[in-house]
Structure 1
């Protein structure tokens, strides 16, 4: 299996992965391990409502025996960047499909640039060759900092940030989430150990944008979904085009 990215991968490269414990970044972690990368993982506690994702990240790291991991406390982001339901408890997390206008409430301003900047600093300090992050095709509609042109600009800036050149790779940038699930199934990713729900809590709500997208991905991939969802989660089916139809109670 080869990395679907233009950058040529050398033998046993050292790579910093931005890692949330979610479906996408966990699949990318397994992908990098299968490709022989020496992977360092970086997680961010930015005061997110769904901080439980960091506990799931730890479970995955323990499961794989990953030794080089850091979790950075960035609660100060709450004071600097307002207006996101992911960090502001007085703003409700919208329900429904990701592409709906209300999902823009889940945007944390400039989040990926901040995270990638921290990853770049750690990568340079460790003489790493690559930074990897799991932006995928489905992210582009809602999150400006997941667009390919944003990542291209960040990649150029990171290369110019130090005399030691670090490359930014995003193997899933042209993949749908369903395709990512298929890759993960081949790699043996334990998806029951991953977290997606923006509501937080003890189980996935099954109704917020990330839960809907997660459920849709397993359905599109034809892979059994091991996730436990709340009893109140809406029923979902796929239409003739393979897109999710939500049947609210």
Structure 2
């Protein structure tokens, strides 16, 4: 059934694929991005450019005022970004406290405002090892809560919750998507570092599909 959906769109490759999946399925899409003080704010520039090119409604909500209750993460600059794979224990420093619950709550309010039936977000199987708020049990409980939190029920959907990044990329490639319009690196520099967990997983996804990542990297890591 075709619906109006709010897609939480970070500007990264997973939410980029998710956005196009919603459009390909014929849904009316409202894209919603958040500035929470992330180092990799460059991803928001990618999100704006993509939404402008698609001609879809896009809102960037500044929630940096919440930094005092979302502190202590490498993603917001309090500590150094660790290098390595997501399954390594050091990657726990990239957890932003309660981020997805906060973002999904705000997105649900926006969904009620624009009369959307669902909020989509890009949590996937590769996130499960490190991020509690990207696991199936979290998504299922948020879905149950958001269906009863307002007079208008809003579903929470994570279509890639059991897929890995390589599978998500394969779906996007089948749609003909250009991933040079995305940003993944946790470091907010001109080129992707190729060493943070996000870069490592992205590079693995391209390798599993037999391709080179179109983004420029600081080192020859592809």
Q: TM-score range by the shorter chain?
A: over 0.9
- In 1, distance between residues paired with 2:145 and 2:66? 22
Q: Secondary structure at 2:76's aligned position in 1?
A: coil
The answer to whether the aligner puts 1:98 opposite 2:94 as a matched pair is: no
Which residue pairs with 1:4 in the alignment? none
Structure 1, 207-216 or 80-89: larger mean CA deviation: 80-89
1:222 CA drift (Å): 2.1
* Contact map agreement 1:14 1:37 (CA 8 A) in 2: yes
1:164 CA drift (Å): 1.1
Which residue pairs with 1:72 in the alignment? 61
Question: Could you tell me which of 29, 46, 50 is aligned with 1:56?
Answer: 46
TM-score after normalising by structure 2 = 0.97
Q: Secondary structure at 1:86's aligned position in 2?
A: helix
* Contact map agreement 2:69 2:97 (CA 8 A) in 1: no
1:44 CA drift (Å): 0.4
Which residue pairs with 1:28 in the alignment? 18
- In 2, distance between residues paired with 1:200 and 1:126? 32
1:33 CA drift (Å): 0.6
Which residue pairs with 2:115 in the alignment? 127
Number of equivalent positions: 222
Which residue pairs with 1:170 in the alignment? 158
- In 2, distance between residues paired with 1:77 and 1:196? 23
**Bigger radius of gyration, 1 or 2?**
1
RMSD across aligned positions (CA)? 1.2
Q: Any stretches of 5+ residues in structure 1 without a counterpart? A: 1-9, 237-249
1:88 CA drift (Å): 2.6
- In 1, distance between residues paired with 2:81 and 2:213? 23
- In 2, distance between residues paired with 1:29 and 1:88? 28
Question: After superposition, what is the alpha-carbon deviation per residue over 1:44-82, rounded to whole angstroms, capped at 9, x for unaligned?
Answer: 00011111110011111122222x111111112322222
Q: Any stretches of 5+ residues in structure 2 without a counterpart? A: none
Question: Could you tell me which of 11, 14, 39 is aligned with 2:4?
Answer: 14
> Whose helix proportion is higher, 1 or 2?
2
TM-score after normalising by structure 1 = 0.86
